[in-house]
Structure 1
């Protein structure tokens, strides 16, 4: 068992600020700090008082143990760190780190020190859980932040958490340049999505993403609800089946929806879910599904195609989407690591 650097009762992160555990009455000031940070950094993810309050009030959150605020000499909160923990009955405990430091205080390397404090805090919490539940699986600690941000730099300098996944949006015009050809791999047939295939597509989705760290199966009720949304376009969606092996079922899919900008009137076909089960990956199937979706979007009057991307293989993903004419927007990177003590 590793020796803890800080006792469970201590909130001290470093010496330039006055540190204390987060209280409910601090949330308004933390929201103001988040607004100041967002003004300077324009991050992909935004924090507001309502979300902070929801997180504080979760029954298992215990923020007065897992979050700290740092005040300057005038008593103003200029930094905070928060471990968002999973419920105590989760067999694989997680701690999601959240860090905010006012730009005027970043030269003190407060963010870097918060990273270390939060990791130590998460590991102390995990060892506490293990005292009564020795069968617990390993602890995962992670933090999602804009690539190239100060938080990203602090995480890289600490070095304990490593980049594991990247998230970003991509868009391309459907009118300014020719659309790619739809060329499925040999033995694969693309078919338009029909509701009779819904459960098989859901199964394929859970298989395709089942190897991702932290992935959870999409329940049937949630899957069906997503297809019933007003912006959902199941009839614009595609599936892939293997004609050489009819028993393989659905081996790939692209489930699409539509985004309409009310003021300007532009319409974008959006690929909400795309996946290929492992045995059929790296054969060009994802490219064929995307191309088929683009043609469908254009046929229905859309001028743009877009997609939200979640990948653990950044070079391959960038090559795929850039090669199909997508413009890749700012990336969010997920840092993470697993600990057993």
Structure 2
């Protein structure tokens, strides 16, 4: 490890560090985005991915007492046919910020992601991404020092489920059903088609998709599919993490994915599946729905969500360096 700092030592992470990493991430969450928390399961999942080598890709900063006070994860997206996307992800415990630890950490992450890209031997276009919550200006500054520049803003939006839901009726030939596990692969294929022209999106590989749909948070009863002749043409997938409820101040569902396959756009399918999910969440006793949206989406998604009663709460910026 090349990272050095007078107050901490750096070492690779192992699966035995999951709880310590989660403690640091949770402390940072309360400062950086106080309305939601990172579940332990999400961190544990990283150590199970076949394309992640913790000994090379995950770095921890260790205090003299042995506590994890910062973590960083460098990741190259496993879908590499068209473009190479690498990601810098990490955080420093709030009590240890402004001591230069983040500077050391992100420099190591940047070096590791450039190595990952070079190791592919690919001539495809490559880019390094860093996502930063709007209030964390220090993290954005660190990225900018490495040549990353803000290319996009994403808004978190929230909806009060006590307000009436006014969705369109299903048109002839469209069947609206809850998500079921037997359609997992069909929904993945629909997701990859729907997001093919979205900024910064690459196909979701089977391994990561399985972690999502088979994980503890996806709620099939709240998630909605639109079918035409049995084909999945639109989807709204929602999850529930009860740890978020205290942070947000209300029982809520998070809408992870909304999409319409490209050859069926313009038929009102997105508001159709979203409305059914909102109604199901309300009927389940939840009080709020939350989602994130690209503010410059070509699909006009943010305008659609506003029409459905969502209101922006805070933003996240995407910084990119294209190589």
Question: 1:5 maps to which residue?
Answer: none
Give the alignment's TM-score, normalised by structure 1. 0.61
**Which of 223, 231, 234 is matched with 1:252 structurally?**
234
Mapped contact 2:85–2:126 kept (Cα < 8 A):
yes
The 2-side partners of 1:204 and 1:183 are apart by 22
> Residues 112 and 158 of structure 1 are in contact (CA less than 8 Å); yes or no, is this contact kept in structure 2?
no
Alignment partner, residue 142 of structure 1:
129
* Equivalent residue in structure 2 for 1:277, among 246, 253, 261: 261
Q: Structure 1 residues 53, 286: closer, same or farther in 2, change over 3 A?
A: closer
Task: Assess if the C-alpha contact under 8 Å between 1:146 and 1:331 holds in 2.
Answer: yes
Deviation sequence 1:63-106 (CA, Å, 0-9, x none): 4444444567x566675353333599966665432322243443
1:209 is aligned to 2:191: no
Distance 2:280 2:24 in 1: 45
Q: Pick from 102, 106, 110: which aligns with 2:97?
A: 106
Instruction: Tell me if 1:313 matches 2:300.
Output: no
Deviation of 1:113 after TM superposition, in Å, equals 5.0
- Separation (CA, whole Å) in 1 of partners of 2:273 and 2:39: 35
Please say if residues 82 and 99 of structure 1, whose CA atoms lie closer than 8 Å, have aligned partners that are also in contact.
Answer: yes
> Is the contact between residue 268 and residue 305 of structure 1 (CA under 8 Å) also seen in structure 2?
yes
TM-score of the two chains, using structure 2 as the length reference: 0.63
Task: Name 2:115's counterpart in structure 1.
Answer: 124
Q: Contact between 2:147 and 2:321, CA under 8 Å: does it hold in 1?
A: no
| Partner Cα distance (1:32, 1:270) in 2 | 22
- Report 1:286-297 matches (<5 A): 286-291=270-275, 293-294=277-278
TM-superposition CA deviations, 1:265-312 (whole Å, max 9, x none): x997876653222355466542344345556666x5756463544547
Deviations 1:190-220 (A, max 9, x none): 433389995876644331123342332669x
Structure showing greater Rg:
1
Partner of 2:166: 180
Question: SS of 1:318's equivalent?
Answer: helix
1:150-180 Cα shifts (integer Å, max 9, x gaps): 4345335544154557474633224xx4432
Distance in 1 between the 2:71 and 2:197 partners?
A: 30
Residue of structure 1 in register with 2:72 after alignment: 82
Partner of residue 11, structure 1: 3
Is the alpha carbon distance of 1:193 and 1:157 closer, same or farther for their aligned partners in structure 2, counting shifts above 3 Å?
A: same
Please tell me the root mean square deviation across aligned C-alpha atoms, in Å.
5.4
Distance 1:159 1:77 in 2: 31
Q: 1:108-143 deviations in whole A, cap 9, x for unaligned?
A: 45424533442123213433x25xxx3464444333
Tell me if 1:191 matches 2:175.
yes
Q: Secondary structure of 1:232's match?
A: coil
Q: What does residue 246 of structure 2 align with?
A: none
Partners of 1:335 and 1:54 lie apart in 2 by: 25
Query: Hey, what does 1:322 align to over in structure 2?
Result: 306
